[in-house]
Amino acid sequence: MPSTARVTPLTRRGLLAAGGALGLGAALVACGGDKDKGSAAADGKSGPWKFTDDRGKAVELKSVPKNIVAFVGTAAALHDYGVEVKGVFGPTTVKDPKTGQDKPDIQAGDLDVTKVKNLGNVWGTFNIEEYLKLEPELLVSAMWDKDVLWYLPPQSHDKIVKLAPTVALWAAKTTMPKALERHARLAASLGADLKAKSATDAKARFEKAAARLRAAAKARPEIRVMIGSASAELFYVSLAKTSADTAYFEELGVKFVTPKVNAQGYFEELSWENLDTYPADIIMMDNRSQAIQPADLKSKPTWNRLPAVKAGQVVPRFTEPIYSYAKCAPLLEDLATAIENAKKVA
């Protein structure tokens, strides 16, 4: 993933391709505890409003914010709880190769992208003038690097965060259940009803899916999974424990390939000639629009020779999950299915 850190030894291209398991070395802070629950009127229509984010920063407003701008994946999570935003930034639309028309990026989830102001669709862009026109009361984003809001351009990050109150929620060095809880708490503080049937059903489905994945991993301990992401020059193998989703899958018993990570500690870069370094029965491939997808790797002989590829055991990975129970439950279900049905090929 691209880094929004102001100074980083990682290249933009390497980060862009390497996927969400990078984490960028941020330490988890301010997770859990009563102070993080947020507060607002029960109907979400009057204040005062307070929320302590994952920087340990308490944001206090006179009333519940309505003019919200968010990173697109965070906006998609809030949308699943019934909380809508005015503007988004980050991968929101992508060109449909068949029609040439814009369509929602996978990170937009169920957002109606025609009804939100897109302030910056690609890395390094954020329209400050249009942002101010929205009269923002709150900006919300993920956090991969401590105190750095995801997808804000490095050159304007510090300026943007001074224009309106901000909330940051960890996307790294945490696990999926913690990230889900934090997003749910934020949504509740903004007026979401976590006792609504849709919300309780989604959480129940997630818990059932977690139990199923645990059972599948226990029943098939011989199955090894590799976390991959492809660029034209390199193939990245990520370390499971550095990303919220795969760290949780590992907690549930899924056995992952352990790469010899680089100095940053999050992934290993392999040349295409060395793609067979790690035997794997299942390959989880970064499904974001900036990563090369399996269907487009057929020209790579070493890819075609991998046992998991020959066996058709390549599955998508939602590298930057939308942290709502409704969106995360299918991720666990899909991986459970893949493990249950996998042949031992490595």
pLDDT score of 18 more than 70 = no
At position 99, the amino acid (one-letter code) is T
Q: Is the pLDDT of residue 3 over 90?
A: no
| Integer CA distances (angstroms), 57 to 51, 167, 175, in order | 8, 8, 21
For the segment 39-94, what is each residue's pLDDT rounded down to a tens digit?
A: 554 344 566 999 999 999 999 999 999 999 999 999 999 999 999 999 999 999 99
pTM of the shown model:
0.86
pLDDT of residue 11: 37
pLDDT interval class at 246 (50, 70, 90): very high
**pLDDT tens track for 302-312:** 999 999 999 99
User: For the residues 278-292, what does the mean pLDDT come to?
Assistant: 95
Residue 94: strand, helix, or coil: strand
- The H or E element containing residue 183 is helix 176-189
Average pLDDT over residues 201-206: 98
pLDDT band at 235 (very low <50, low <70, confident <90, very high): very high
- pLDDT bin (cut points 50, 70, 90) of residue 191 is very high
pLDDT digits (tens, 9 = 90+) for 110-130: 999 999 999 999 999 999 999
| pLDDT score at 81 | 98
Burial (CB count within 10 angstroms: exposed 0-12, middle 13-18, buried 19+), residue 271: exposed
**Measured distance CA(123)–CA(110) in Å, rounded:** 22
3-state per-residue secondary structure call for 26-84: CCCCCCCCHHHCCECCCCCCCCCEEEECCCCCEEEECCCCCCEEEEHHHHHHHHHCCCC
How many other CB atoms are there within 10 angstroms of residue 329's CB atom? Answer: 21
Instruction: Residue 228: count other Cβ atoms within 10 Å of its Cβ.
Output: 29
What DSSP string describes 240-309? GGGBHHHHHHHHTT-EE------TTSSEEEEEGGGGGGS--SEEEEE-STTSPPGGG-TT-HHHHHSHHH
Is the predicted pLDDT of residue 163 greater than 80, yes or no? yes
Grade residue 145 by pLDDT with cuts at 50, 70 and 90: confident
Q: What is the DSSP letter of 27?
A: P
| pLDDT value of residue 7 | 30
How many Cα atoms within 13 Å fall on the side-chain side of residue 159? 10
Query: Is the model's pLDDT at 19 over the cut of 70?
Result: no
Going by the DSSP 8-state scheme, the letter that residue 57 receives in this structure is P
Which band of pLDDT confidence, cut at 50, 70 and 90, is reported for residue 203?
very high
Measured between alpha carbons, how far is 96 from 92 in angstroms, rounded to an integer?
13
Residue whose structure tokens are 């392999």: 270
CA neighbor of 323 nearest in space, from 187, 204, 176: 176
pLDDT at 93: 96
**Would you give the distance in Å from CA 105 to the centre of its chain?**
13
237 contact partners, CB below 8 Å, separation of at least 6: 226, 227, 228, 257, 259, 267, 268, 270, 277, 278
**224 forms bridges with which residues in the sheet?**
255
The pLDDT of residue 46 is 62
For residues 50 and 66, the answer to whether their CB atoms sit within 8 Å is: no
The residue type found at 339 is I
What pLDDT band is residue 21 in, cutting at 50, 70 and 90? very low
